[in-house]
Structure 1
């Protein structure tokens, strides 16, 4: 009996993995709206009803994909950051950024799923693994900004942001984890995110094209310029 159950579990895991792989390929080929349970069922030779036994609705599949993709990204970024001593905030920023790029180049469909066009009609859940991974990514970036803040504070005087300038849920999360960080520190984290993802999005969506023959070097130069602008040395 145990053997039969284990075999069923293994077959279910294999089918679930295939469903997710096909969904990501559909995303890569046709964008977010191409993800369809019926299309996946056709490709797998299953009925749509049988597929619903794995994912009751399209949104359940998308939520699972986001959780898997986001967790994979954050695991990699955190490991790269933590391999650099805390006494080297510049090196930790560069390690995080370059690891995000390496992951995105290897997983362009996943990058587009979490940072690209929204999936039409999809409502993300307010809790669960996908939300947890998103909060980990947020905490990671804000933590990098907080570590750089003692060096960068003097240069962050433009705009004078206040807490009401940001989403209340984001403010609650950040102030809970980094109570000493001022609003300008959160603004710095968001700008760091913009610099990490801006050039990367151009690359993933094909807009750099032949203009940059070595996008990895271009991206590293951007990261080095970022840390130097914060008064840090890599």
Structure 2
């Protein structure tokens, strides 16, 4: 017997409609256009009715960001299908897939991966016409900080984690600046907890501070070029950004021991 009531089904359907319209507004007009009043107009309901589903605009943007990252994660995992059991090909496919997705979805990339704390416009990210904005902004900002950390990890851990567990090679340990070691040890524990949450078992040798440092460097360079491309912020003209990206992947692949000797 189905334990879901019709009222719950209707609520879930309305919630999907709200997020669907919010995402359409995001893609069509940008993040600033995503307001509770605008969505209410599109749905033909009153703005106060939306507060039965979301505490604030920021709350809605958080959920929208989660949806985007879920879709991205599924897309990246799909890029792995059909690839032979080759670490280099798998990792490169994920990195290329992330870049391609970001360039094709700049506004969704901005919300999910380049919006610090609020809506990226220098304020708290709440709706200027939101009567509950003052009461909810602090709660929403705290929630966003936590969920963005989870989202960012979930996109890549589910794909890259198993490759680490299998062992991608035996690279020479990178030299880690001493002032970074304490923080990397904390990151090591956080990463272990995140992998455990995803049900990914890691052998101790694949989970060293050096491995965490390598992952940090990989992500910093991958994200750095992708963000520069999406926002058109290269400090000089780069006519072949794709070749620059491939060169970066090759260099990182060698550092990580992904190339077979």
Change (3 A) 1:184 1:192: same
Residues 77-226 of structure 1 correspond to what in structure 2 (within 5 A)? Answer: 77-86=76-85, 88-118=86-116, 119=118, 120=124, 121=137, 122-124=141-143, 131=150, 134-145=153-164, 150-152=169-171, 154-159=172-177, 162=181, 165=184, 166-167=186-187, 170-173=190-193, 176=196, 177-180=201-204, 181-208=207-234, 211-226=237-252
Change (3 A) 1:23 1:127: same
Over the aligned positions, Cα root-mean-square deviation in angstroms equals 3.7
Q: Tell me how far apart the structure 2 counterparts of residues 209 and 117 of structure 1 sit (CA, whole Å).
A: 21
Q: Which residue of 2 aligns with 1:49?
A: 48
Would the aligned equivalents of 2:88 and 2:253 in 1 still touch at CA under 8 Å?
yes
Q: Tell me how far apart the structure 1 counterparts of residues 145 and 225 of structure 2 sit (CA, whole Å).
A: 29
Q: Which runs of 5+ in 1 are unaligned?
A: none
Q: Tell me how far apart the structure 1 counterparts of residues 181 and 236 of structure 2 sit (CA, whole Å).
A: 42
Q: Which residue of 1 aligns with 2:21?
A: 18
1:1-49 Cα deviation digits (max 9, x unpaired): xxxx7x96897344541133224555x364xxx6432344356664311
Q: Tell me how far apart the structure 1 counterparts of residues 64 and 149 of structure 2 sit (CA, whole Å).
A: 9
* Higher helix fraction (1 or 2): 1
Q: Tell me how far apart the structure 2 counterparts of residues 104 and 208 of structure 1 sit (CA, whole Å).
A: 16
Size of the aligned set, in residue pairs, is 224
- Describe the SS at the equivalent of 2:83: coil
Change (3 A) 1:21 1:54: farther
Q: Which runs of 5+ in 2 are unaligned?
A: 1-5, 119-123, 125-136
Change (3 A) 1:175 1:116: closer
Would the aligned equivalents of 2:169 and 2:257 in 1 still touch at CA under 8 Å?
no
Would the aligned equivalents of 2:36 and 2:57 in 1 still touch at CA under 8 Å?
yes
Change (3 A) 1:89 1:191: same
Name the TM-score, length of structure 1 as normaliser.
0.75
Q: How far did 1:85 drift?
A: 2.8
Q: Tell me how far apart the structure 1 counterparts of residues 241 and 169 of structure 2 sit (CA, whole Å).
A: 31
Q: How far did 1:210 drift?
A: 7.7
Q: How far did 1:163 drift?
A: 6.3
1:178-222 Cα deviation digits (max 9, x unpaired): 241211111111111112111101011111388123322322222
Range with bigger deviation, 121-130 or 40-49: 121-130
Q: Tell me how far apart the structure 2 counterparts of residues 221 and 156 of structure 1 sit (CA, whole Å).
A: 20
Change (3 A) 1:124 1:56: closer
Q: Which residue of 1 aligns with 2:129?
A: none
Q: Tell me how far apart the structure 2 counterparts of residues 11 and 232 of structure 1 sit (CA, whole Å).
A: 45
